[in-house]
Each structure stands twice: as C-alpha cells, then as structure tokens.
Amino acid sequence: MTLLGLAFNSLRFRRGSFTATFVNVFLGAVVLMSFASLFDTASGVGVSPADASSLTTIAGAVGGWGLVIVGFGVASTMNLSVRQRQAELALLKATGATPSQIGRMIIGEGVTVSILAAGLGIVPAWLIGRAVLGALTSTDQIADDVAYRFGPLALIAGLSMTLLATVGATAITARQAGQVSVRETLSQAATNDRSIGRGRIIAGSLLLVVGIACSLTTATVLKDEGFTTLSIAGQACIASAIGLALLSPLALRGLIRPVDLATRSFTGAAGYLATTTIREHTRQTTTITMPVIILTGLATGTIYIQKIQNAANAADGITVSADDKGVQTLNFIIVGMIALFAAAVLINNCVASMLARRQEFGVARKLGATPGQILRAVTFETIFAAASGLALGSISAAIGIAGFRYGRAGSSPAIDAVPFLAIIITVVILTITASLSAAHRSLAVPMIQAAGTARV
Amino acid sequence: MNAAQTDRMDILTSSDLTRHATQDPLRVVGLTKTYGPPSNRVTALAGVTTSFAAGTFTAIMGPSGSGKTTLLQCASGLDRPTGGTVHVDGREFVQGGEAAATRFRRTRIGFVFQQYNLLPTLTALQNVTLPMRLAGRKVNRRQCMDLLDQVGLAGFADRRPTELSGGQQQRVAIARALASRPSIVFADEPTGALDGTSAAEVLSLLRRAVDAYGQTMVMVTHDPIAAAVADSVVFLADGRIVGTMRDPSAAAVSEQMLRLDLARRNDGPR
C-alpha cells in the first residue's frame, strides 16, 4: 500500500512526463473504442446478418492494426518516461526497495494514468463511433434503421487493450530498470541505450517479411479481388512500417556514420554533440523516428493505393459506385485516425524527451555550450531522426504500393507527388516545432538549476 | 587582539587594491547577489571584493549558507551577480546574455564540479576535448592524451564515464579543466563526492597544476583537509569575507570554522 501511495505521489509531482502517456492512452482508447463500438452495434437487436457482417469486417480491420499501433505508441512513450526516471528509481533501490516493489510501483502509476485516460476517452469515442456509423448509413452500406450502440465490447476493447499495452510496456521497462545496478544508475545517466534486443530484431524482421508477403499476394494470388486486394495492400504498408520501426535503431546506427562524415565540416560543435548523442542514445532518437515511420508509411500508402485504385477504375471504365465511395471515405477515416494518433505520439515523444534532457543540456551549458549550439544540436538530431523516419516510412509505403500497382495490371498511373510532399512537410514541421519549442523551454531554466537534479 | 579584530585586519589585506591587482587572473569588486522579491529578499553575497593572484591556490570556506558557492558561480560567470563586477585577466566580464557570457568564460575559465559533470555520451578523451570543440578551437589530441596521462588515466582514454570510478571521473574532469589552458580554474567541492583516497589524489592533482604549470586555482570546500592544500583560505560568512588565512593547516582551518559557527549561533538565526 505504501508503494501505491508513493506511486500517487510521484504522479502528482511528475505531471509533465505523465501528460505524454495520458494523451497517448486517451487518443489510443478513443480510436479503439470508437471502432469496437461497431461490434456492439452489429450485435444489436434487428440488425440484418449482412449489415452485421459488414460492421464486424470494418471494426475488425481497424481493430487489429489499430491495436498494434496503439500498443506500440503507448509503449514507446511509457518506455521513454520510465527510462528517464532511472536516477529516481535507483534512489528508491538504494533506500531499500526491491526490484519487484519498484516494478509494482511503475505499473501502478501506468495503470492509474491509463484508467483515467481511457475513461475520459469514452465520450469522444461514442461520438466518433456514431459519426462513423452515420457515414456508413449515409453511403448506404448499412441499413438506415441500424441503431448505434456503445456497449460492453467497446469498453472491454478500449480499457483492456490500453491497460495491456501499458502494463506490457512498463513491465519490460521495469525489468530493464531492475537490471541496472544502484551504483551505475546513481552516477549520471547510465541507461544502456546502445543495446538492441534480439527479440526486437526478430519481431521486426518477421513483420517486414509479412509486409512483403502481403504485397506479393496482392500482385499475384489476390489480384483483382476488389476491396480485399485494397485492404491487403494497406496491411502490407502497416506491417512493413511496424517492422521497419522496430528495426530503426539498426538503420540509425548505419546511417549516422556517413551523415556525420558528410556534415562534419560545417556543423561544428553542435553536429559533434548531436552525432555522439545519436550514436550513444540511439533508442532515445528512435522515439522520434518510429512514429514518423508509422505516420509516413500509413498515410502515404493509403493515399497512393486509393489513387491507383481510382485511376485503374477510371481506366477500366468502371463507374465509381456509392459503395466504392463509402469504402474510400471509411478508408480515409480509419487511416486518418491512426495517422492522427501517430502524430500525437510523435509530438509527445519529441516534447517529453527534450524536456527530460534539461539536466544534460545544463551540463553542456556549464561546460561552454551556448544555448544556440544546443538548439543547433537538437535541430540536427531532430532532422536526422525525422529524415530517417521519412525514408523508412516511404520504403514501407512503397512495399504496399508496388504490389498493388502491379496487381492492377495495365494501369500505371502517373504518380502525383503533391500528397507525398504534403506528408513530408507535415512531418518535418511537426517534429521540428515540437522538439525545438520543448528544447527552448528546457533552456529557459538558468543553467545552475538546470544542471542540478532533473524534475520534469 | 581578539579574533574579531584579526578578521577585520585580514579583510583589509584581502581587498587591498594597491597591490596592482588589476593584472590578477581574477578580481571581483563589490560582488552582490540577492534572491527573491523585495519583501522577502535573501542576500547570498553582500559585497565581496577580492583578488586572486596568478599561480596561487585559494580555498573558499564558510558555514553552509555563507555564500561560498554563490561567490564561485557569480565569479565564474555561471550565474549573474546582482551587482558588482568580475574581471578576468584585467578584462571585465560582460554580463550580457547567456551566449555572450559563455563565449567569454569558456576560453578563460576551467571548471571542476562536485558531480564531475562528464557527458555520458562521450569517452574520457572526448570529454577532455569538448570545451575546446565548443569554443571552436583546434583540438590538440596529443596534449589532451598527455593530460590524461598526467592525471593517471593513460589507458582510459576510450572509456565512458559509466565505466570509470568516481575518482577517475573527477580526474578526467581535472584534465578537461586544464586542457584549454584557462586563466583560472574553479573547483566546486571537487572532493565532496569522493572517498578519502580518491579525494587525496584529486587534491594532489590540483596542487600539482598550480605548482607545475602556475595554474591559478580557486576551490570552494567545506573540508579543512582539502583547504589545507591551498596557499591561502578565504573565509565567508553571511555573504561577506570575514577573514583570510595564509599557509593554512587543517587544524587551524577547523578552529576558524568552529569560531565562525559559534559566532553565527550567538547572533541567532538570521
């Protein structure tokens, strides 16, 4: 009980870093619950079997990947916030807390935040779910008399999945925290950011293979299967994006060397600080890269697959039915929501990681780094993280698009670069604004205070 | 002559400007620092004027809350004094923005902190060269390796701070402070986080920097044994210099500290 008290206490005092987790869980729960409520609606009285089947298909399509992405997003932010507290956890260990007590405390905090966030997500999820059903009925995919229901399935899906993601992420991080010795953690920032787990590499490679396999099926077996081909192509993008996100630390390590060599001559001390940080704290950098990959892969993939579909339909002389229109709208709603979630995770991670680096910046300032040098180093890091994410995200989108484009044989529409450029610009503006404004705030603290004990 | 009179005599000598102090590596004149709103003003420094001659090792001591760390922070440009001036090598410290202050101090002033303040992402050698890189100066790798050698860390150039003991980290920090050949090195409780053996090593390295290179050194400490390594001790109480002691011994320093504590207790809480 005392530790739970401690957990509540730290929740109150570390509002900044918990806000990040809170926002992620909230948005994630909204996405999951709004679509899970379609299951509730499908099981309502008087819903025809055909309508019920359409609703469950749609809810299932979102549910699966939405779940993975929400879990992924919540986990990455949670992981970030726990790792930044190593020193505090070490103090607890030094004063006699056992690893399992610390684990219970961290999980207790995570669960408290998640329940609050998911609970607050109920009302917006109800509204969005109703709007989605409205969109479906107005495009005549579902009978007009189907009544919207927000019931136990939505609640269970929203609450249990966000809780599962939180507990999973915190448990892994707590275990990592438990492995570091008290001495190491009490001396400055001992987080071992260099190691990349083997499990992570295996999972990432598997998902990438799944993505490529999906793409190959759309080009071969599932050629011209209409909506199915379209959705499998979308899944090819999502699976490759998550796979590449998991593998991104390896990519960043590989890229930083040539980038360092190419830019060394003109980036000076700021570039030196940035490249050493990326090399030594790769996982911190990937908290920005990963949501960029998901966001880019998903948004680019969906938009271009839909464009190819539309162009192919036009070329084949197929008039676009209301049904197709409805599918398209729904497709954009789904992807839009997930992309929005990824964008929120991205902003959160940028802000949370920069605010938590106040102490590190303080030390660099004491040693003679001007605020300008630190801001330039942060800009370098952010641009590098975002650019790598954009490149990897584009690759994952290309995997899905290539298969689909080949599958819709004969159609090779001219690729219109405008949406892609818009995505790139959005990502760059989001990351730079979030990172730099947070870094600015970290630098506003007088350096002799900033270099002291970090409190976010 | 009682103790209070001796102290007053010492104040006069310590701020004696006839000694051509203008060319000293560090001179502070009328330094004040206050915190908080006018209704609840806390005075950390109440006008400190003193000078540190080239090639000398000075310890600054005083009861906690006496303003010794504030003096170091204001004199070194880490913090902005409320009033008064700081002169490094006869040049007045520009109290402009942080960037200007940083540019002024980073080539002239070296630091050794209680918490080492090594960047965890850099190796020992990279930490030593960092201030020069930040200042945009050419890094003399050979010289930095020599410095690591002199602080007894010849084989540790590629180790990261987490792979070094506290004493070793502090020795890296000393090499870093000396690397840019600053006019003055400030050490803030450099032995505060170390055990006896490591502390003795660190103190003898600081002493050697003064003796061998003529480095000017100012060290804030609360440890009479550490203070005894210095050439002279400046005592601070309530933000003022209340005495100095030349060729200090640990015993004499302890005695003086006790006296200051006692005087403070008799005055009652401020």
pLDDT top residue among A95 and A189: A95
Contacts 24+ apart (CB under 8 A), A324-331: A325/A139, A326/A135, A326/A136, A326/A139, A326/A140, A326/A141, A327/A141, A327/A227, A327/A230, A329/A135, A329/A139, A330/A58, A330/A132, A330/A135, A330/A136, A331/A230, A331/A234, A331/A302, A331/A306
A301-316: average pLDDT: 83
Residue B8: is its pLDDT beyond 50? no
Residue A52 to residues A57, A100, A271, A291: CA-CA distances in angstroms? 9, 46, 57, 33
CB-based contact A364 B119, cutoff 8 Å:
yes
* Chain B CB contacts of A272 below 8 Å: 133
Furthest-apart CA pair in chain A: how many Å? 74
Residue A134 to residues A37, A60, A130, A140, A332: CA-CA distances in angstroms? 13, 18, 6, 10, 15
Mean pLDDT of chain B: 87
Which span out of A47-56, A350-359, A428-437 was modeled with the highest average pLDDT?
Answer: A428-437
Specify whether the CB–CB gap between A181 and A76 falls below 8 A. no
Residue range B69-97, pLDDT digits in tens: 999 999 998 988 999 999 998 888 877 88
How close, in Å, is residue A252 to chain B by CA atoms? 16
Residue B16 has what pLDDT?
45
Residue A251: is its pLDDT beyond 70? yes
pLDDT top residue among A78 and A211: A211
Residue B232 has what pLDDT?
95
B107-114: average pLDDT: 91
Q: CA-nearest residue of chain B to A181?
A: B162
Band of residue A412 on the pLDDT scale cut at 50, 70, 90 = low
* Chain B CB contacts of A186 below 8 Å: none
Range of lowest pLDDT (A14-23, A122-131, A262-271) = A14-23
Q: Does B225 touch chain A (CB under 8 A)?
A: no
Specify whether the CB–CB gap between B174 and B205 falls below 8 A. yes
Q: Does A180 touch chain B (CB under 8 A)?
A: no
Residue B253 has what pLDDT?
93
Q: Does A274 touch chain B (CB under 8 A)?
A: no
* Chain B CB contacts of A365 below 8 Å: 98, 102
Cross-strand partners of A155: none
* Closest in B111, B126, B160 to A366, CB measured: B111
B45-58: average pLDDT: 93
Q: Find the DSSP H helices in chain B.
A: 3-14, 68-75, 98-106, 124-134, 141-150, 166-179, 196-213, 224-227, 250-267
Residue range A200-220, pLDDT digits in tens: 899 999 999 999 999 999 888
How close, in Å, is residue B99 to chain A by CA atoms? 5
Band of residue A452 on the pLDDT scale cut at 50, 70, 90 = low
Residue B269: is its pLDDT beyond 60? no
Residue A353: is its pLDDT beyond 90? no
Residue B239: is its pLDDT beyond 70? yes
A85-95: average pLDDT: 73
Range of lowest pLDDT (A132-136, A206-210, A299-303) = A132-136
Residue A407: is its pLDDT beyond 60? yes
Q: Give me B150's structure tokens.
A: 């002199």
Q: CA-nearest residue of chain A to B111?
A: A367
Q: Does B95 touch chain A (CB under 8 A)?
A: no
Range of lowest pLDDT (A45-49, A129-133, A231-235, A452-456) = A452-456
Residue B122 has what pLDDT?
92
CB-based contact A370 B102, cutoff 8 Å:
yes
Residue B81 has what pLDDT?
92
Band of residue A66 on the pLDDT scale cut at 50, 70, 90 = confident
Residue A44 to residues A140, B33, B157: CA-CA distances in angstroms? 18, 73, 71
How close, in Å, is residue A253 to chain B by CA atoms? 14
CB-based contact A269 B116, cutoff 8 Å:
no
A73-78: average pLDDT: 78
Residue A377: is its pLDDT beyond 60? yes
Helix axes A371-407, A282-315, angle to 10 degrees: 30
Residue A366: is its pLDDT beyond 80? yes
Helix, strand, coil % (nearest 5) of chain B?
A: 45, 25, 35
CB-based contact A368 B106, cutoff 8 Å:
yes
Q: Does A280 touch chain B (CB under 8 A)?
A: yes
Band of residue B21 on the pLDDT scale cut at 50, 70, 90 = low
Residue range A95-106, pLDDT digits in tens: 777 777 777 887
Residue A133 has what pLDDT?
87
* Chain A CB contacts of B160 below 8 Å: 280
How close, in Å, is residue A396 to chain B by CA atoms? 31
